[in-house]
Amino acid sequence: MNNKKFIFISFMAAVVIWAASGCSVVDWYAGRYVPFTGTWKFKDSAQGPLVVKFNRDMTYEVDTDGNGTKDIWGEFKLHDSQVTLQDVGGAMGGDCHEGAVYLYQLSRSELRFAIVGDQCKSRVAALAQPWVRVEK
């Protein structure tokens, strides 16, 4: 088999494996895979209008009342299935200035967080809910 044919077959095999795994378009930032880039809201809208946007540059923005204005913002870091969140500015509660660590689980239809350590009661309550993607 010639080299060009081998490369083409390898590429097509990778595409088939990627498609079969259910993966969506991959977001990378500075060599890091950011699996949940995009805008998310509570799966159960009765829980409230809160919207969070995770950006490719490893920052996030929170719209607490769904009016389109960012009320809280911060930075996040990823390590395997663990995310560290650090609010940087906005209308943070008094107990929300410390960083937080969560495990995340991403499926085709939702994003879930499991607390590892967080002193911020409002963030713990918000991240205990399942989230659905609004936009990529």
Three-state SS string across the chain, please? CCHHHHHHHHHHHHHHHHHHCCCCCCCEECCEECCCCEEEEECCHHHCCCEEEECCCCEEEEECCCCCCCCEEEEEEEECCEEEEEEEEECCCCCCCCCEEEEEEECCCCEEEEEEECCCHHHHHHHCCCEEEEEC
Q: What is the pLDDT of residue 119?
A: 93
| Position 17 in a domain | no
Rounded mean pLDDT, 27-42: 72
Residue 45, domain CATH: 2.40.128.280
Number of domains present in the structure of the chain? 1
pLDDT band at 47 (very low <50, low <70, confident <90, very high): confident
| Position 89 in a domain | yes
| Position 61 in a domain | yes
Range(s) of the domain holding residue 126: 24-135
Q: pTM above 0.85? A: no
Look at 73 and 19; give whichever has higher pLDDT: 73
| Position 87 in a domain | yes
| Position 126 in a domain | yes
| Position 5 in a domain | no
Return d(Cα 13, Cα 133) in angstroms, integer.
29
